[in-house]
Structure 1
Amino acid sequence: MRKVKILIVSQYYPPEFALIPSELAEQLSTRGHSVRVLTGFPNYPQGKLYAGFKQSWRHTEMQGEVLVRRVPMFIDHSQNGFARFANYLSFAFGAAMATSFARGTDVVYVYATQMTAAAAPQLWRRILGIPYVLHVQDLWPESITGSSIVRSGKVKKLVDRLLGPWLSSVYRCSAGVIAIAPTMRSILAERGVPDEKLHTVFNWAVDSAEVVRGSQEATCAGGLCVIYAGNVGDLQDLETALEAARMVQDLQGFRLVIVGTGVAEKRLRRIAAESDIGNVEFRGRVDPVNMSAIYEESDFQLVTLKDMPIFRGTIPSKLQGSLSKGVPIITNVAGDTTTIVGEEGVGFTAPPEDALALAQVFRNAHSLPDEARKELSRRSRELYLRSMSARAGVDAIEGVLQVATHGENNRGIS
């Protein structure tokens, strides 16, 4: 396979938890490609600059064999819509100002948690002729208009009008578009992305030969520990999980543990306290290096999101993280996530935003015999290795990038 010069553009990168772009950079570099990264200064998820960093225009560092350049940006992770947009746009501006860093690149990979990360690559496509590949993590504009940072109906309509034409041009000018789930691919096709540009690649987790969940090797003690680990935001619909936990306070040994932080954490803590929900525990932020202990404690991982059409094509990364450790799933995410969990037999499903149904799932999981839990754990790990490992994901993305560098129409302006 021909070795190419690859620039990875991602607003987030280690020491922030940014597994996909960082592991992609490391593995592509190990495979002999020349890899650079353009990113911002670390501040996620608290919205505060990490200790030891000072923003500047000339900051570069080496992470292994990968050269990383950081650009200044307006730091914010609040509920203020204007501040959040300023955060996204300032990274896009900073990346555009680092055009010289992109020169000589064969292809640009865009880790599109925010689609604004694609603004600079789109500019480079026009002025430098460098093809870019989008790895879409969240569908815009719905991820913006469906969140609490845009509350006014009039503002939502304005955002739709402003972003719609630009997003169409970003997809049109790209050399390839990677979706993280089959339904997302279908939605992108409906929005005009040609089938020959579309690819589906599941996100992956930290690969490990270790299956840490004790249920596979130990006898359950008669209780049930359900852990939610991830962003504690408005779109995660953890209110439904709290209400379901309140309904099962009669279950001996049942615990719902919420690991992580975010804009909804204070509200959820208040709800739990005011409703006297005694079987819910908040852990706050846990360093990624300590997550193995969390998985070891977990009987099931809770994967939950609000009932919104865009989430039918979303597979939250915590799904892969749990499966990789042999931890089965409880989910109420409609669409691809529920389909995978149900068809592969790796957990329980409930309809979205239905606390009564989720409470019944908690009861079903609590009553599950030890041998059945062990079988769910075995299937979970097996599914991850078969379909969602880092090697499978990097192989697929490497192939898309290779095609992008020699596509006959990649360097034309469309």
Structure 2
Amino acid sequence: MKVLILSQYFAPENVPIPSELATELAGRGHDVLVLTGFPNYPRGKVFPGFRQRWRQYSVEDGLTVCRVPLFADHSQRAWARMFNYLSFAFSSATARRFAARADVIYVYATQLTPALGPWLWRRKSRGVPYVLHIQDLWPDSITGSSISGVQGRFIARALNPWISSVYSRAAKIVAIAPTMRNTLVERGVPTGRVETVFNWAPNTHTDSSGSVRPARLDDRQVTRIVYAGNVGDMQDLNTAVRAAAAAANSGVLLTIIGDGVAKQGLIELVKELGATNIEFRQPVPLETMPVVYGAADFGLVTLKDLALFRGTIPSKFQSILMHGLPVITTVQGDVRELTEQYELGFTADAGSATSLEAAFRLASECSPSERHALRERATDIAGRLFSRTAAVTQLESALIEAAGERNIRND
């Protein structure tokens, strides 16, 4: 079949799922087209070597790519972020002729706005069927985090009718977590049209068995806990800093790798607490993550306890497991349930430094044999639940089923 990958983000931007899915589908014999914007994520500035224009057609790694203009921004200003989303939605919606060549459209919905074009085209009698791969629920992801109060309620009321229509016209909807799927069903999506497909970890071209792990003089001497990712307000790293400081006498060393709006405040908090077991490091390229995780004992996954986060699984969760590392997490909902069900590490209550301190101490008390068992389970579950091959097969099946709708109608 001929598949159109529609995503605001695509290589060389560090958002691997759309790019890796396109490559995998092409490798399975499908004809893949890509409709995307000009790369600017995460800094909000167009990458060197690219210049925005009305249309740019190219062949990139064997894929036919059409790039359309957008308002480049990734600031904390709500209006600018929304304009960024809407500008791509409208410019991609004008590429109907390019999209009409496809049998089915895959929409990577980190935000729902890229679905504007397929939704409009589907309203026509011969519109191409589309599959929504929902990464964040709307309007929850904007009204529950960056925009709240009266303004948030107004936006929700304005968006909900359109969101319901987008769902109703989708041939298939893919959720990334069980709770998200259940929420979609509660909101009226028929159970037969929505399924759960776990995201996979980015391909870092490494063995996840732990072979990159350096030798230790004594695994019980220091417990190295690493957080790698966005250092923002939603990550609630204040709680992690306070918990690590309180657990200093247990040998816990917390390393925070990354950047974001909350980083300077965390540095000041560490100084205020007088903590000497917490260090900060700059962001590192994706390809160096095997070394980062290989030098750690546990990977930390944190988020504030918001309803929208209970039905999502942060990509770092899969990445940590794929590198054979157990987790410590404060994320409630599906992440906590998976961690406890499969004994993948330790869990704590969101926002509670006392609870997280207890989890840090439990981790520090693990013997080398217990840590080895945790790593073995992490690797096993990563392969069983978060395999890229399995996920792509599920998505491919959904796309084939959706493409069949057009073939039946045209017959």
Q: Using structure 1 for the length normalisation, give the TM-score.
A: 0.93
What RMSD in Å do the two structures reach over aligned CA positions?
1.9
Letter in 1 for 2:127: G
3-state SS of paired residue (1:405): helix
- 1:280: which partner in 2? 278
Alpha carbons of structure 1 residues 213 and 351: separation in structure 2 relative to 1, 3 Å: farther
- 1:78: which partner in 2? 75
Letter in 1 for 2:95: A
2:23 pairs, out of 21, 26, 30, with: 26
Does the CA contact (< 8 Å) of 1:141 and 1:163 recur in 2? yes
CA displacement at 1:362 relative to structure 2 = 0.6
3-state SS of paired residue (1:73): coil
Aligned residues: 406
- 1:239: which partner in 2? 238
- 1:331: which partner in 2? 329
- For structure 1, which segment, 394-403 or 86-95, has the greater mean C-alpha deviation from structure 2 after superposition? 86-95
CA displacement at 1:282 relative to structure 2 = 1.9
2:133 pairs, out of 114, 132, 135, with: 135
Q: Using structure 2 for the length normalisation, give the TM-score.
A: 0.94
Report whether the alignment pairs 1:160 with 2:156: yes
Alpha carbons of structure 1 residues 236 and 410: separation in structure 2 relative to 1, 3 Å: farther
CA displacement at 1:42 relative to structure 2 = 1.6
CA displacement at 1:371 relative to structure 2 = 0.6
CA displacement at 1:99 relative to structure 2 = 1.9
- 1:116: which partner in 2? 113
- 1:314: which partner in 2? 312
- 1:299: which partner in 2? 297
Give the Cα separation in 2 of the matches to 1:217 and 1:100.
57
Which segments of 5 or more consecutive residues in structure 1 lack a partner in the other structure? none
CA displacement at 1:214 relative to structure 2 = 5.9
Does the CA contact (< 8 Å) of 1:307 and 1:333 recur in 2? yes
Alpha carbons of structure 1 residues 315 and 216: separation in structure 2 relative to 1, 3 Å: farther
- 1:226: which partner in 2? 225
Does the CA contact (< 8 Å) of 2:214 and 2:295 recur in 1? no
Does the CA contact (< 8 Å) of 2:220 and 2:368 recur in 1? no
Letter in 2 for 1:269: I
Alpha carbons of structure 1 residues 185 and 410: separation in structure 2 relative to 1, 3 Å: farther
Does the CA contact (< 8 Å) of 1:261 and 1:285 recur in 2? yes
CA displacement at 1:261 relative to structure 2 = 2.1
Give the Cα separation in 2 of the matches to 1:250 and 1:214.
28
- 1:403: which partner in 2? 401
Letter in 2 for 1:63: E
Report whether the alignment pairs 1:178 with 2:169: no
CA displacement at 1:56 relative to structure 2 = 1.6
CA displacement at 1:21 relative to structure 2 = 0.9
Letter in 2 for 1:360: A
Per-residue CA deviation, residues 16-61 of structure 1 (Å, 9 max, x unaligned), is 1112111110010000000011111222222222222221222233
Does the CA contact (< 8 Å) of 1:41 and 1:72 recur in 2? yes
Report whether the alignment pairs 1:44 with 2:41: yes
3-state SS of paired residue (2:249): coil
Report whether the alignment pairs 1:198 with 2:168: no
CA displacement at 1:343 relative to structure 2 = 0.8
Per-residue CA deviation, residues 292-340 of structure 1 (Å, 9 max, x unaligned), is 2111112111111111112221111111111111011101111111111
CA displacement at 1:87 relative to structure 2 = 0.6
Per-residue CA deviation, residues 54-91 of structure 1 (Å, 9 max, x unaligned), is 21222233232212222111111111110010011011
- 2:32: which partner in 1? 35
Q: Equivalent residues in 2 for 1:357-396 (5 A)?
A: 357-396=355-394
Does the CA contact (< 8 Å) of 1:176 and 1:197 recur in 2? yes
Per-residue CA deviation, residues 170-192 of structure 1 (Å, 9 max, x unaligned), is 10110010000111100000000
- For structure 1, which segment, 376-385 or 218-227, has the greater mean C-alpha deviation from structure 2 after superposition? 218-227
Letter in 2 for 1:118: A
- 1:258: which partner in 2? 256
Sequence identity (%): 47
Letter in 1 for 2:172: G
Letter in 2 for 1:167: I
Give the Cα separation in 2 of the matches to 1:137 and 1:34.
24
Alpha carbons of structure 1 residues 410 and 366: separation in structure 2 relative to 1, 3 Å: farther
Alpha carbons of structure 1 residues 57 and 404: separation in structure 2 relative to 1, 3 Å: same
- 2:92: which partner in 1? 95
Letter in 1 for 2:224: C
CA displacement at 1:411 relative to structure 2 = 6.3
